[in-house]
Amino acid sequence: MTSDATPNVLYFSDNLDILRDYVAAESVDLIYLDPPFNSNATYNVLFRERSGEESAAQITAFDDTWRWNLEAELAYRDVIAREARNND
């Protein structure tokens, strides 16, 4: 974990990984997220032809579906264990 926070850095990854690896525990005052949550939709980057018609070429930006699975369970247990260690 870095001890000196670098200002004006955009991280693109899972927020728990970034917070664990790059951000000191006492340095975060606010985390703001505003994507649609669990809309069960697939969001695409939409392209249009020069004519304005929709293009056949589309890129999937992300799937907004979340399931409780082994990865979620392990992340949850890790957060709980870290909090317990911090409170000892």
Q: How far is CA 75 from CA 16, 20, 36, 68, in A?
A: 8, 11, 21, 11
Give the strand pairing for 59-64 and 41-45: antiparallel
User: pLDDT tens for residues 6-37?
Assistant: 677 777 777 788 888 888 777 776 777 766 66
At 63 the three-state DSSP class reads strand
Phi then psi for 60, rounded to 5 degrees? -70, 120
Residue 4 has pLDDT above 60, yes or no: no
Residue 80 has pLDDT above 60, yes or no: yes
Q: Where are the domains of the chain?
A: 15-86
Assess contact for 23 and 6: CB atoms under 8 A: no
pTM confidence score? 0.40
User: pLDDT tens for residues 29-69?
Assistant: 677 776 666 777 777 766 777 787 767 676 776 677 778 89
Residue 82 has pLDDT above 80, yes or no: yes
